[in-house]
Amino acid sequence: MADIVASQARTLLNSSNGTTIRDRASATNASGTVVNGNLILGYFFHGSVKVNYRSFLNFDLSGESGTVTAVSLTLTRNNSGDFPDHFVLASEAGDNLATSDYIDGIVGASSYAFTSDATKFTDSAETLSDGGGDGDTITFSLNAAAVSHANAVIGTSNRFKCALVNTHDFNDTYDADDDGFSATLAVQGIGAYSTDNGDSSNHPVLTITIAAAEPTMGSVKLDGSKIQIVSGKFLID
């Protein structure tokens, strides 16, 4: 088992394009990057100010070897938020995140909505209402697609990449759900520490389980000798 600390983990935000929060989600590019030590797993919804957030993470597995059998992602909280649920998706964002990765950084997504196109690393949305607070951790157990991706990049210069997208955004249900949103002057959702936080012990961690190597059997060369079994014992003469 190996714990890999994220090389980069940042959040893209979009606060432009149209007037609704779905409009913000459907934009081609983000309007900016959050660089404040936090990953934002939520949305902002207050009057005319509506912001959608997507987080992108990458991990360097070049120093590892072997066959990966399981993968999990652990985030350290910096608040006690408990919604919305989140999907972990496969990402193809650049090693250094750009605003153009807002949609293009999600594997399979070419336009919004990408519900049936994106490659999921969790089979369903993860519920984050675990009662946790600042300093507690959230762990996502990733699926077979994530294991396959880890095996494709382990020992290479290609990084393991994933994206965190909330369920309203992923399922394209913002318009259907937003009547139930609370209009508050704060981000609604979970905050977690990013790689811009000064304490690397709080940075996201990818845990990979690597299969044990098969034992190798030595060989014995017998020149002109015979093996006999006498009274349950091996005799060589």
C-beta separation of 75 from 39 below 8 A: yes
Q: How many CB atoms neighbour CB 125 within 10 A?
A: 18
Tell me the helix, strand and coil percentages in the chain, rounded to 5.
15, 35, 50
The values of phi and psi at residue 192, to 5°, are -135, 160
129, amino acid identity: S
The CA-based angle 137-142-144, given to 5 degrees, is 170
Q: For the whole model, what pTM was predicted? A: 0.90
pLDDT reported for residue 174: 97
pLDDT reported for residue 200: 97
Task: Pull the structure tokens for residue 117.
Answer: 């196109």
pLDDT reported for residue 219: 54
Band (pLDDT 50/70/90 cuts) for residue 233 is: low
pLDDT reported for residue 212: 85
Q: Which residues, other chains included, contact 198 with Cβ-Cβ below 8 Å and sequence gap of 6+?
A: 37
Question: Cis link prior to 113 (omega < 30° from 0)?
Answer: yes
Q: How many CB atoms neighbour CB 12 within 10 A?
A: 26
- pLDDT above 90 covers what percent of the chain? 84
Q: What is the 3-state secondary structure (H, E, C) of 168-221?
A: HHHCCCHHHHHHHCCCCCCCEEEEEECCCCCCHHHCCEEEEEECCCCCCCCCCC
- pLDDT above 70 covers what percent of the chain? 89
C-beta separation of 90 from 119 below 8 A: yes
Average pLDDT over residues 40-45: 96
Which of 56-65, 85-94, 103-112, 212-221 comes out lowest in average pLDDT? Answer: 212-221
In this predicted model, what pLDDT tens digit does every residue of 147-201 receive, in sequence order?
999 999 999 999 999 999 999 999 999 999 999 998 888 899 999 999 999 999 9
Q: What residues are paired with 101 via a beta bridge?
A: none
Please check the confidence at residue 23 and state whether its pLDDT lies above 80: yes
| Distance of alpha carbon 189 from alpha carbon 43, whole angstroms | 7
CA-derived radius of gyration, the chain: 24
